[in-house]
Structure 1
Amino acid sequence: MNSPIFNPYCVEARYTEQRIPQFRDNALIAALPPIPSDEQLAEELFELPEFSVEQRDWSASERLCMVAELAHLLRPLQRHLSLARAFDTLMRTGYSRRGIRSKEHIETYQRLYEAKQEGRAFPTQSKRKANPQLSSALIGLPGTGKTTTVRRIFLRYPEAILHSDGVMQIPYLHIECPHDGISVKGLALSILRKLDLLVPDANYFQLYKPSLAADVLLNHCARALHNHYVGVLVIDEIQNLRNAGKTNGALMASLVTSANELSVPVVFAGTMKALKALGVDASVARRSSGAGFPTWDALSRSGDLNEPGEWEDLISTLWPFQWLQKPVELDDVMSNFMYECCQGIPDFAVKLFMCAQWRGVLDGTETFSIETLAAIMSNELSRVAPIVDALKTGDIDARCRYEDITPPEFTSLLDDALNAYEGVRQRGAALTADNPALVPRVASILVEAGINEDRAFSMASKVAKEGKAVGLVDATSAALKLAKPPAPVRGKKKRAIDAAALVELAPDDYRNAIHRASESDTTTFDELVAMGAARPLHELLGYV
């Protein structure tokens, strides 16, 4: 067994006396951190970025980085405290039915062995004294902070505890199913791999990897969970479980049923649609609210900052963290508009607030408005529009259909913002057609490209006169297009044009523009404009 010195995840057990009768004389419970008060829980869960008003005078690049720190913000609400309390109670309740190398512990090994011999993943429920159910589910919409909160809660506990008799205790295992999907067998291997990380000399992954059947792997997982006294197993993002048909559903239901027998609590976290697909919502979800795992829906709001609901508590905590030089004041109008944009989903709200600040820094306005927020929802956060609309209308079917939609990652949003304003930072990007510096700058580039100086100034002047190009890059590109020689006309087409030239055309015949352009070294479009038969695009759009 590795000592704590060689295992960075492990601590040596320190025991505290337990006053609760069912928790006494149990080393597994005594080694856990003491039961916290609500105030202690709130303090431990709170996470805010460092901020001072002086930071608003920092450089743009530094402030962009500071805004990104809002991604880690967590303002504990009552739901967070209830969830932390539920996990702590669930863990201690499971341990109260187990003891280090106790008679019950050895009997469980025997039942696991018999189940394996009979070709089953888990033992059947024994007819012993009924105990509280130890399986539950954390169900909610994406973006409500389920996974983030679970991670923060588990920071309270050591990942591994080494007891004086060499027993390794794992208080929790948090397995997140990847977004690209995972099978039941892959889930089992993830559990074994995580145990190998916490108990380096276990080597479970290599030992059991040759096993082909998912039920056999799950049996090995059960033995490993039991062997290392795992306090709670959380299977997160369960909606990513692939092929959630009858076979997988039966295996997962078996895992839930056996949680009570093995005294290893199992918590599924994900969407309602995923749990229904697995066929375990009926047996788990009904018990979840009573066990302290209510459905995590959108934040409730009062509409009044003076009598705050969940939404007002969050937005009031978030709002002071503005790195803009012209910070925006929070009032009921702004708060309610933000809610309408996000429908009470915390992740959407934080990302909208971050994007608004990034825009203000990058476009130089150093502020934002309701119009800015609406534009962001139509652009950067357009991906979440279906779920926002479903929440607005209360359409349950649409909500289930779109509940797996996730907004862009924070890094992706920042990259998009930087790309959108890349032109603002390019040299010459601010040059417009009426700027006297545009023509000589464009002409200078054309001369360097090998074009005659007089012709270069002529083309640059023509581009400026048209007024279509914005910025040095666009203007130069437009001028270079004028430098391209016309494609040669040969064969029948040339003879047809020559023949047409001999025909006397009416003054308003469009073909006159072709002849005049070829004679005066202009473009056909210019001649059509001169005839009154065409108009430049910028005039049609109203940019006169």
Structure 2
Amino acid sequence: MSAHPEDIYLVEARYSQQRIPHYRGNPLIEALPPSLDDDALSDHLIEKPDYDPEQLDWPSYERLHMVSTLSSFLTPLERHIQLARAFDTTIRAGYVGRRPTSADRVRVFQSLYEAQQSGRAFNTMHRPTEEQLSSRVVGMSGTGKTTAIRRIFSRYPQVIYHPIYNLHQIPYLHIEAPHDGLSTKGLAASIFRKIDTLIPDAMYYSLYVKGGASGELLLNHAARVMHAHCVGVLVVDEIQNLKNTGSSKQILMSALVTASNELGVPMVFVGTHKATEVLGLDFRQGRRSAGHGFPSWPTLGASGDLNAPGEWEDFILELWKYQWNRSRILLDQYISNTMYACCQGVPDIAIKLFACAQWRAILDGSESFSSATIVDVLDKELETVKPMITAMRTGNVRALGAYQDIPPIHLSSLLDDTLNTYEGVRQRGAEVRTTDTGFVPAVANVLVQAGINDERALSMATKVAAAGKVTGIAAGAEAALALAKPRATKKRKDTPDAPLIEMAPDDYRQAFRRASADGQSAFSHLSAMGAVCRIDKVLLI
């Protein structure tokens, strides 16, 4: 589980003087990257494809791949700036009073030790000078919460090494609750796994988890490890999965809030709207998870006017610049409204609609698409999310409650689906003709793979090529395999019927003759002759 320094973003601390009075003299804060203004934050957060108009002259298969780069598209909106600012403030404020050589740091270690000796995760301690250390970011899946958080954190080193203190500082720890549920023990294990990937030669998971310790004790160990490595903020993503765990939600949420207070480590819960059921377990937890100025994270709101843009218009105007169809589609109000109706302001769905429409235009050769194309993409390529989109558009609260979240769909999977629709374009060798020199060897090779010997396969492939009726390797192989099927033999009409042989009335062959004459089954005649019996009666004997 250990990591090597070259695998992570590990830097040696360089300290910068702080103008904020209560940040001064704190090496954990002085080693962080400087705070940025809004413009600089926006430049850091932006994530756009490497687009050049010359790419429109590229062949279709290359342009298909360029459309796929939209999967990482992010244009900073006001909410992204607010979130980045909230995280930066939270990390710095959390380090106040946590200097590496401070008495408070020693006091926390002592308290954790005493709790461990008593068989508990924590003592009941409170930090009177710090309130509401926990916050939340809640919104529908597909709205870009996790993507934004990862982009924000990419500005910070994953680990900062302080040689003077022989200390590895972790500015942020981002873990995800597993889909099968999060427990106290599972949370501790996730923390150990993550830290093992960050700190060189760390083996906390092997040291603590494999020993079979209780959840309480593991959480105590996890707290000590986070404290030892000066974690700036703990982000627990997909917190809605907590509801699936068999352990008490109340116990785990209380443990998380207590850990935040005990260590002075800010904690941010990230999840879908289902997470509100978890975060609202009691007034204390609900209140704490709403602090530190973290923005709400709803779907993008539309003004309905591209000339007076809201969040949706800012987003779609920027996204629309990245087209790889040779006939450029202009964004007008009608197309913007259609896109919004089909995605309901969920950026992830909007990107996929836009990408699929471009793929269709490239593959069918039209190099163009329309609003009707967008609607058809939702009906066919994104049919799994259409019921939820419809429920959002109609405001059907009951229908929305039937869906946990928007199911994830990856652009790579959608590209495969689109290519499958245009099979002739996708199949390798689909355009090879019978007159091409590679046709016969390629078809023969397919036949050999099907179990036909080399000589016969070559002969069959040659016959198909000579007929010249197919195009493509797959079609050629299919035609050749048809040649291998045995022909049905028909009885010659001029052949006289064989003379009937006289049989005794109880000759069993009479059953088949009578069946042929009257159209009934031979079995029924055999049964009437007493030649067969019911199997159930035999088994009961």
TM-score tier after normalising by the smaller chain length? 0.7 to 0.9
Q: Is the 8 A contact 1:175 1:191 kept in 2?
A: yes
Distance 1:151 1:496, change over 3 A: same
Q: Report sequence identity in percent.
A: 50
Q: Is the 8 A contact 1:288 1:294 kept in 2?
A: no
Distance 1:140 1:494, change over 3 A: farther
| Alpha-carbon displacement from aligned partner over 1:503-531 (angstroms, at most 9, x marks no partner) | xxxxxxxxxxxxxxxxxxxxxxxxxxxxx
Counterpart of 1:36? 36
Q: Is the 8 A contact 2:234 2:268 kept in 1?
A: yes
| Alpha-carbon displacement from aligned partner over 1:204-258 (angstroms, at most 9, x marks no partner) | 1121121331121111111011111100010111223474355243122221233
Counterpart of 2:53? 53
Whether 1:264 aligns to 2:278 is no
Whether 1:98 aligns to 2:101 is no
Distance 1:497 1:162, change over 3 A: same
Distance 1:250 1:134 in 2: 18
1:109-120 counterparts in 2 under 5 A? 109-120=109-120
Distance 1:121 1:486, change over 3 A: farther
Counterpart of 1:11? 11
Whether 1:139 aligns to 2:138 is yes
The farther-off stretch of 154-163 and 194-203 is: 194-203
Letter in 1 for 2:128: K
- Alpha-carbon deviation of 1:286? 4.0
Distance 1:481 1:297, change over 3 A: farther
Distance 1:478 1:371 in 2: 41
1:359-438 counterparts in 2 under 5 A? 359-425=360-426
Letter in 2 for 1:257: T
Distance 1:222 1:371 in 2: 55
| Alpha-carbon displacement from aligned partner over 1:104-159 (angstroms, at most 9, x marks no partner) | 11111111112222222222133x63422111111110000011000000011111
Distance 2:517 2:3 in 1: 95
Counterpart of 1:173? 173
Paired residue secondary structure (2:269)? strand
Distance 2:305 2:511 in 1: 78
Counterpart of 1:208? 208
Distance 1:3 1:16 in 2: 28
1:472-511 counterparts in 2 under 5 A? 472=475, 476=479, 485=488
Distance 2:391 2:218 in 1: 40
Letter in 2 for 1:298: T
| Alpha-carbon displacement from aligned partner over 1:8-33 (angstroms, at most 9, x marks no partner) | 53211111111112212211111111
Distance 1:245 1:411 in 2: 35
| Alpha-carbon displacement from aligned partner over 1:54-113 (angstroms, at most 9, x marks no partner) | 101101111111111100111000010110011011111110131112101111111111
- Alpha-carbon deviation of 1:351? 0.9
- Alpha-carbon deviation of 1:319? 0.6
1:439-454 counterparts in 2 under 5 A? none
Paired residue secondary structure (1:138)? strand
1:177-188 counterparts in 2 under 5 A? 177-179=177-179, 181-188=181-188
Letter in 2 for 1:274: A
Paired residue secondary structure (1:18)? coil
Distance 1:33 1:297 in 2: 30
Paired residue secondary structure (1:272)? coil
Letter in 2 for 1:239: Q
- Alpha-carbon deviation of 1:203? 2.0
Distance 1:56 1:152 in 2: 29
Paired residue secondary structure (1:382)? coil
Counterpart of 2:107? 107
Q: Is the 8 A contact 2:3 2:196 kept in 1?
A: no
Q: Is the 8 A contact 2:253 2:285 kept in 1?
A: no
Distance 1:98 1:480, change over 3 A: same
Letter in 2 for 1:374: V
Counterpart of 1:294? 295
Distance 1:160 1:492 in 2: 88
Distance 1:118 1:420, change over 3 A: same
Distance 1:110 1:371, change over 3 A: same
- Alpha-carbon deviation of 1:393? 2.1
- Alpha-carbon deviation of 1:46? 0.5
Letter in 2 for 1:421: Y
Counterpart of 2:128? 129
Counterpart of 1:347? 348
- Alpha-carbon deviation of 1:177? 2.8
Letter in 2 for 1:149: A
Q: Is the 8 A contact 1:160 1:169 kept in 2?
A: yes
Distance 2:458 2:300 in 1: 61
Distance 1:4 1:93 in 2: 30
- Alpha-carbon deviation of 1:275? 4.3
Paired residue secondary structure (2:29)? helix
TM-score by length of 1: 0.78
Letter in 1 for 2:91: M
| Alpha-carbon displacement from aligned partner over 1:445-487 (angstroms, at most 9, x marks no partner) | 9998879x9xx99xx99xxxxxxxxx95799599779975289
Return 5+ residue gaps in structure 2 as ranges.
434-442, 448-455, 492-508, 520-541
Distance 1:180 1:359, change over 3 A: farther
Whether 1:20 aligns to 2:27 is no
Distance 1:365 1:282, change over 3 A: farther
1:219-298 counterparts in 2 under 5 A? 219-241=220-242, 243-245=244-246, 247-277=248-278, 280=281, 282-298=283-299
Distance 1:342 1:244, change over 3 A: same
Distance 1:228 1:267 in 2: 18
| Alpha-carbon displacement from aligned partner over 1:397-456 (angstroms, at most 9, x marks no partner) | 43343142323112211121222222345567899xxxxxxxxx9xxx9998879x9xx9
Return 5+ residue gaps in structure 1 as ranges.
432-440, 462-470, 501-544
Distance 1:3 1:375 in 2: 47
Counterpart of 2:505? none
1:317-328 counterparts in 2 under 5 A? 317-328=318-329
Whether 1:159 aligns to 2:158 is yes
Distance 1:117 1:76 in 2: 49
Distance 1:385 1:283, change over 3 A: farther
The farther-off stretch of 204-213 and 86-95 is: 204-213
Distance 2:263 2:140 in 1: 30
Paired residue secondary structure (2:385)? helix
- Alpha-carbon deviation of 1:187? 2.5
Distance 1:157 1:299 in 2: 27
